[in-house]
Amino acid sequence: MSREIAINLVYIVAAILFIFGLKMLGRQASARRGNTISAIGMLLAVVATLLDHHVVNYTWITVGLVVGTAIGVFCARVVKMTSMPEMVALLNGFGGLASLLVGWAEYGKIRAYGWERYLSEFAGNPVFTSVVIALTVLIGGITFTGSMYAFAKLAEWLSGKPRLFRGQQLVNFALCGLGLAGSVVFALSGDPAVAQLAFFVVLAVALILGWTLVMPIGGGDMPVVISLLNSLSGLAACAAGFVIANNVLVVAGCLVGTSGVILTVIMCKAMNRSLVSVLSSGFGSGVVAASAASGDVIQGELKPLSPEDAFAVLEAARQVVFIPGYGMAVSQAQHVVRELAEKLEENGAEVRFAIHPVAGRMPGHMNVLLAEANVPYEQLVEMDAINPMMPTMDVAIVIGANDVVNPAAARDKSSPIYGMPIIRAHEARTVICLKRGKGAGFSGIENHLFLMPNSRMLYGDAKASLQAVIAEFKSLNAA
Ligand code: NAP
């Protein structure tokens, strides 16, 4: 058996492991094993690739391996759970950059060798190779700068609000056209000087377009854009796989690309929006103007509650629902949330956890945190299932959630989040809201829920507030 056939057989095994691994990631119980299986597949793919006779220089590969491993180990140990979304955005971005560099390097090789020698050594078709190089650079560039912008928003280096300028959609449209036209010229022009110019036009357009496409997206639409960038990073890798004729890269890129598309569709459904409207609308902009125009003045007052009073309300409750949000992740309150849930159950209450699909800062964020705290999976209830039960809930405990429980989304037509499905916390008999102060949610808009007659504010860091309530339960038991 030739080395090439052996390598391709290993690639097939790796691809099968990726597919099984991905499937297992779909269920909480098997997710950890799924991750390990996919990682084994990746290890096999990397080892097989290193045996490829096309590899001519191991020095730089070793340098990359050592530096990459060191950064990976450092990040795995140092990056906090709350910073994972930013980390994911960075990883997407660097995936796009890596693909872009592969395309660029291959183009450099073609220029150095000339088509005749290149084709005699690497086979292929000049138009096909040029098209996939242009696609790799275009998609990789958009993914890189788009992800960097998303990273800056998630890390709060930039405001989460959309940034708009006059004619923005027209500019994006023109840039898309220029990028595609440049790709066609690059692929079809026989003149090396024209092809070179077209290549750098495509490169520049890609880098600018990533930035300008993500700029107008803000607030609640960020989950959609993050899953879309994740998908694009896969498609860029897939195109890079075609550039260097590497089957496992094509398969792995396709898997990331398609699973990212599926996630993007799920996120769009969760936000009750279409992808086109997400990419074009500038969600979250003009909040003040919209509210002012509709005359929608938020009335009511914030009514603080002490941990002792919260305990009194909870002690009498029989149906309790926890609604976690980003603030739970910030305060790392998931373990004390579980402890309080256990105390409530010991006290005879039935406890549920309402999960909004875009709560937190990354898809599945709340599920991951609650699973880490060993909250029983059966107690997690999806938004659509919990909403009809909300009027029967004695108490809804909102833990650092804001946008995902904002009633304006359901009834204020002038609100920029109008139409986004929410968990209807306000329908519970009593709502206890845990937050530190008057901070707005990610989309930067006011929340009427906190002012409603049945809402009470338990101010402070969520973890400390919950610990104070648990202490009350403990002193009751001790008495
Ligand atoms: P949110 O709207 O961001 O609100 C979080 C709230 O937590 C804030 O109002 C904050 O108020 C409070 N908080 C922060 N630290 C806290 C602490 N230590 N203790 C107690 N409270 C704390 O959160 P969300 O309701 O989960 O909504 C998620 C938002 O992020 C949505 O707009 C979603 O579209 C967006 N997003 C989601 C994803 C995703 O994939 N899930 C990705 C990107 C963006 P105080 O400052 O007053 O404490």
Q: Is 357 in the pocket of ligand 1 (CB under 6 A)?
A: no
Residues 115 and 264 both lie in one domain? yes
Of the three residues 289, 318, 347, the one that is the final residue of a domain is: 289
Of 27, 48, 78, which residue sits at a domain end?
78
Nearest ligand 1 atom, CA 365: 41
Report if residue 148 sits inside a domain. yes
Residues 273, 325, single domain; the answer is no
Q: Are residues 313 and 329 in the same domain?
A: yes
Q: Residue 281 has what pLDDT?
A: 61
Whether residues 58 and 199 fall in one domain: no
Question: DSSP letters of 301-314?
Answer: ---B--HHHHHHHH
Q: Which residues contact 459 (CB under 8 A, 6 or more apart)?
A: 304, 435, 436, 437, 465
> Tell me, what's the pLDDT at 4?
87
- Tokens 């150095």 label which residue? 112
Total domains in the chain come to 3
Q: Which atom of ligand 1 is nearest to the CA of 271?
A: 34
Pairing of strands 350-355, 430-435: unpaired
Q: Quick check: is 472 in a domain?
A: yes
Same domain, 211 and 324: no
Q: How far is the CA of 273 from the centre of ligand 1 (A)?
A: 20
Q: Do 256 and 153 share a structural domain?
A: yes
pLDDT for position 182: 96
Examine residue 300 and state whether it is found in any structural domain, yes or no.
no
294 in a structural domain: no
16, two tokens: 């099968």
Residue 355 and residue 414 in one domain: yes
| C-alpha 30 – ligand 1 centre gap (Å) | 28
* DSSP bridge pairs for 324: 399
Report DSSP letters for 176-230, one per residue: HHHHHHHHHHHHH---HHHHHHHHHHHHHHHHHHHHHHHTT--GGGHHHHHHHHH
Task: Please check whether residues 143 and 241 belong to one and the same domain.
Answer: yes
Q: Which numbered atom of ligand 1 lies nearest the CA of 219?
A: 32
Q: Is the CB of 214 under 6 A from ligand 1?
A: no
For residue 227 and ligand 1, the question of a CB distance below 6 A is answered with: no
Residue 55 in tokens: 């590899």
Integer CA distances (angstroms), 226 to 149, 390, 418, in order: 11, 30, 21
Q: Which of residues 48, 78, 108 is at a domain's end?
A: 78
Q: Which residue segment(s) compose the domain that 446 sits in?
A: 307-478
Q: Is 160 in the pocket of ligand 1 (CB under 6 A)?
A: no
Are 455 and 433 spatial neighbours (Cβ–Cβ below 8 Å)?
yes
Classify the C-alpha dihedral 39-44-45-47 as positive or negative. positive
Nearest CA to ligand 1 atom 21: 435
Note whether residue 297 is domain-resident: no
Q: Evaluate: CB of 331 within 6 angstroms of ligand 1.
A: yes
Q: Nearest residue CA, atom 18 of ligand 1?
A: 331
Q: What pLDDT is recorded for position 8?
A: 92
58-to-49, 61, 327 alpha-carbon distances in Å: 12, 5, 46
Residues 97 and 200 placed together within one structural domain of the fold: yes
Residue to mutate, 271, 353, 368, 403, ligand 1, most ligand atoms under 8 Å from C-beta: 403
Which CATH number goes with the domain that contains 323? Answer: 3.40.50.1220
The pLDDT of residue 282 is 52
Q: Residue 99 falls within a domain, yes or no?
A: yes
Q: What is the tens place of the pLDDT at every residue in 289-330?
A: 444 444 455 677 899 999 999 999 999 999 999 999 999 999
Half-sphere exposure in the Cβ direction for 295 (13 Å, CA)? 0
Residue 304: φ, ψ to 5°? -70, 155
| 67 and 92 share one domain | no
Return the residue whose CA atom lies nearest to atom 48 of ligand 1.
436
User: 442 alpha carbon to ligand 1 midpoint, in Å?
Assistant: 6
Each residue's pLDDT tens digit in the chain (479 positions)? 688 899 999 999 999 999 999 999 888 789 889 999 999 999 999 999 999 877 888 999 999 999 999 998 998 888 887 788 888 899 999 999 999 999 999 999 999 998 888 888 877 789 999 999 999 999 999 999 999 999 998 888 887 777 888 888 899 999 999 999 999 999 998 899 999 999 999 999 999 999 999 988 876 678 888 889 999 999 999 999 999 999 999 999 999 999 999 989 988 887 787 888 777 765 444 444 444 444 455 677 899 999 999 999 999 999 999 999 999 999 999 999 999 999 999 999 999 999 998 899 887 889 989 988 999 989 999 999 999 999 999 999 999 999 999 998 888 777 777 788 999 999 999 999 999 998 888 878 889 899 999 999 999 999 999 999 999 999 877 76
**One domain for residues 376 and 255:** no
How remote is the CA of residue 361 from the centroid of ligand 1, in Å? 8
Between vectors from CA 61 to CA 140 and to CA 115, what angle results, nearest 5°? 60
How much is the pLDDT for 417?
A: 77
Length of the chain: 479
Question: Separation of 136 CA from ligand 1 center, angstroms?
Answer: 35
Same domain, 219 and 318: no
Determine the distance separating the centroid of ligand 1 and the alpha carbon of 326, expressed in angstroms: 4
Structure tokens at 445: 């808009």
Residue 298 lies in a domain: no
Q: Where in the sequence numbering do the catalytic residues fall?
A: 403
- Does 228 sit in the ligand 1 pocket, CB within 6 Å? no
- Is the beta carbon of 220 within 6 A of some atom in ligand 1? yes
Measured CA to CA, the distance from residue 86 to residue 357 in angstroms comes to 18
Three-class DSSP labels, 316-346: HCCEEEEEECHHHHHHCCHHHHHHHHHHHHH
Q: What is the pLDDT of residue 289?
A: 40
Q: Is 359 in the pocket of ligand 1 (CB under 6 A)?
A: yes
pLDDT given for residue 283 in this prediction:
44
* Cα–ligand 1 centroid distance for 444 (angstroms): 10
- Pocket mutation for ligand 1, best pick of 156, 402, 461 (most atoms within 8 Å of C-beta): 402
CA–centroid distance, residue 445 to ligand 1 (Å):
12
Atom of ligand 1 nearest to the CA of 363: 40
CA of 119 to the centre of ligand 1 (A): 54
Mutate to test the pocket of ligand 1, among 230, 326, 368, 458 (most ligand atoms within 8 A of CB): 326
The backbone torsions φ and ψ at residue 455, rounded to the nearest 5 degrees and listed phi first, read -100, 140
Closest ligand 1 atom, CA of 420?
A: 34
- CA-nearest residue for atom 22, ligand 1, is 327
Atom of ligand 1 nearest to the CA of 437: 47
Examine residue 301 and state whether it is found in any structural domain, yes or no. Answer: no
